Amino acid sequence: MGKTISEKILSNKSGEDAYAGQIVEAEVDYVMVNDVTGPIAFREFEKLDMPAKTDKMVLIPDHYVPNKDVASAEQAKLMREFACRHNVGNYFEVGRSGVCHQMMIDEGFAAPGRLIVGADSHTCTYGGIGAFSTGIGSTEAASVFATGHLWFKVPETIKIELTGSFKRYVGGKDLIIQIITDIGVDGATYKTLEFTGPGVANVSVPDRLTVANMAIEAGGKAGIFPYDDLTREYIKDTVKGRYEPVHADADAVYSDVLRYDLSELESMVAFPHLPENGRKVRDCDVRVDQAYLGSCTNGRIEDMRIAAEIVRGKKVAPWVRFIVVPASPRVFNAMLDEGITKIFTEAGAFVSGPTCGACLGGYMGILAEGEKAVSSTNRNFVGRMGHKDSEVYLAGPAVVAASAIAGKIVTPEEL
Amino acid sequence: MESIEGRIWRFGDHVDTDQIIPAERLLAENLDHLNDYIFEKVRPGFSSQIRKGDIIVAGKNFGCGSSREHAPLSLIEAGISCVVAESFARIFFRNSINIGLLLVECKVDSAEGNVIVVDPDKGSIVDVEDGKVYSFPQYPKFIGSLISAGGLMAKIKGER
- Which of B 72-131 lie inside 8 A of A, CB atoms? 73, 87, 89-91, 94-95, 98-99
pLDDT of B145 reads: 86
Are A103 and A247 part of one and the same domain?
Answer: yes
Using left for φ > 0, alpha for ψ between -120 and 50, and beta otherwise, residue A378 falls in alpha
Count other Cβ atoms within 10 Å, centred on residue B113: 10
Contacts of A379 in chain B (CB under 8 A): 16, 18, 65-66
Whether the link from the prior residue into A66 is cis, omega within 30° of 0, is yes
Return the percentage of chain A with pLDDT > 90, whole number: 100
**Are residues A78 and B151, on separate chains, in Cβ contact within 8 Å?**
no
The answer to whether B11 and B62 are in contact (CB under 8 A) is yes
Cα B44 from Cα B33, distance rounded (Å): 16
pLDDT of residue A139: 97
Same-domain check for residues A325 and A234? no
Domain boundary among A260, A283, A315: A260
* B159 has pLDDT over 90: no
> Are B46 and B71 in contact, with CB atoms under 8 Å apart?
no
The domain boundary, picked from A260, A290, A309, lies at: A260
Interface test with A, best of B15, B20, B38, B69 (most A CBs within 10 A): B69
**CA of B92 to nearest chain A CA: how many angstroms apart?**
8
What pLDDT does residue A121 have?
Answer: 98
Average per-residue pLDDT for chain A:
98
> Which of A36, A42, A390 is best to mutate for the B interface (most B CBs within 10 A)?
A36
Whether residue A118 is found in the same domain as residue A218: yes
Contact assessment for residue A192 and residue A4, using Cβ atoms and an 8 Å cutoff: yes
Residues A384, A295 share a domain: yes
| pLDDT value for A342 | 98
Within 8 A of B19 by CB-CB distance, chain A residues are: 381-383
Contact (Cβ atoms closer than 8 angstroms) between residue A305 and residue A393: no
Distance from CA of B30 to the nearest CA of A (A): 9
In the predicted model, what is the mean pLDDT of residues A276-300? 98
Element (H, E) at A13: helix A5-14
pLDDT at residue B160 tops 80:
no
Tell me whether residues A140 and B98 touch, CB distance under 8 A.
yes
Residue B66 at interface with chain A, using a CB cutoff of 8 Å: yes
Q: Are residues A150 and A217 in the same domain?
A: yes
Hey, what domains does chain B have and what are their CATH numbers? Answer: 4-159 (3.20.19.10)
**Is A174 in the same domain as A277?**
no
The answer for residues whose C-beta is within 8 angstroms of residue A161's C-beta and 6 or more apart is A196, A197, A199, A257, A258, A259, A260
Query: Could you give the C-alpha distances from A47 to A40, A42, A175, B121, in angstroms and in order?
Result: 11, 9, 44, 31
Q: Which of A36, A151, A221 sits opposite B68 (nearest CB)?
A: A36
Amino acid A182: pLDDT: 98
pLDDT in tens, A93-107: 999 999 999 999 999
- Report the pLDDT value the prediction gives residue A69, as an integer from 0 to 100: 96
Mean pLDDT along residues A167-171? 98
- Among B24, B91, B156, select the one facing A48 at the smallest CB separation: B156
pLDDT at A104: 98
Q: A-chain residues within 8 Å CB-CB of B27? A: 64, 71-72, 74-75
Cβ contact A208:A105 at 8 Å: no
A157 in the same domain as A11: yes
**Contact state of A48 with B153 under an 8 Å Cβ cutoff:** yes
Domain count, chain A: 2
- B149 pLDDT band, cuts 50/70/90, is confident
CA A226 from chain centre, in angstroms, equals 17
Domain of A338, in residue numbers: 268-414
Could you tell me where the DSSP H helices lie in chain B?
17-20, 46-49, 70-78, 90-99, 141-148, 152-159
Contact flag A136-B91 (C-beta cutoff 8 Å): yes
What average pLDDT does the segment B95-117 reach? 96
A122 preceded by a cis bond (ω within 30 of 0): no
Alpha-carbon distance A196 to A393, whole Å?
29
Q: Which ipTM was obtained for this model?
A: 0.94
Question: Residue A36 carries which DSSP code?
Answer: T
Rounded Cα distance between B149 and B137, Å, is 20
Q: Calculate mean pLDDT across residues A249-255.
A: 98
Distance from CA of A308 to the nearest CA of B (A): 30
- Which of B105, B43, B56, B120 has the alpha carbon at shortest distance from B83? B56
Q: Of B112, B81, B94, B88, whose CA–CA distance to B2 is shortest?
A: B81
Which CA distances in Å does A348 have to A336, B32, B113?
A: 16, 43, 53
Of A119, A140, A361, the CB nearest to B23: A361
Task: Give pLDDT, residue B114.
Answer: 98
Per-residue model confidence (pLDDT) at position B157 = 87
pLDDT, tens only, B112-140: 999 999 999 999 999 999 999 999 998 88
Q: Which residues contact residue A251 at a Cβ distance below 8 angstroms, ignoring those fewer than 6 apart?
A: A1, A2
**Is-contact A146 A48, C-beta < 8 A?**
yes
Q: Looking at residue A307, which CATH number applies to its domain?
A: 3.30.499.10
Residues A297 and A211 placed together within one structural domain of the fold: no
Interatomic CA distance for residues A367 and B125, integer angstroms: 42
A248 shares its domain with A313:
no
Cβ of A39 within 8 Å of Cβ of B28? The answer is yes
Whether B152 and A274 lie within 8 Å, measured CB to CB? no
Edge-first strand order for the sheet with A57-60 is A57-60, A30-34, A115-118, A132-135
Chain A nearest CA to B110, separation (Å): 23
| Domain co-membership, A140 together with A20 | yes
Q: What is the predicted pLDDT for the residue at B158?
A: 85
Contact A376, A295 (CB under 8 A): yes
Q: Helix, strand, or coil here: A158?
A: strand
Minimal Cα–Cα distance from B130 to chain A, Å? 31
- What integer is the mean pLDDT of A328-346? 98
Q: A183 and A34, same structural domain?
A: yes
Q: How far does the CA of residue B9 sit from the closest CA of chain A (Å)?
A: 20
Tell me the per-residue pLDDT of B55-88, one tens digit each, with 9 for 90 and over: 999 999 999 999 999 999 999 999 999 999 999 9
CA B136 and chain centroid, separation: 15
Which of A34, A138, A392 best probes binding to B when mutated, by most B CB atoms within 10 angstroms?
A: A138
Mutation target vs A (from B67, B103, B147, B159; most A CBs, 10 A cutoff): B67
Find the CB nearest A121 among B22, B61, B65.
Answer: B65
Residues 6+ apart with CB under 8 A from A270: A177, A180, A181, A276, A277, A278, A279, A380, A393, A394, A395
Whether A250 and A161 share a structural domain: yes
pLDDT, average across residues A337-342: 98
Domain end among A210, A234, A260: A260
Is A27:A148 a contact under the CB 8 Å cutoff? Answer: yes
Contacts of A94 (CB under 8 A, 6+ apart): A61, A65, A66, A76
Mutation target to probe the A interface, by most A beta carbons within 10 A, among B25, B39, B64, B98 is B64
Query: Given its phi and psi angles, is residue A15 left (phi above 0), alpha (psi -120 to 50 degrees) or beta?
Result: left
Is A71's CB within 8 Å of B29's CB? yes
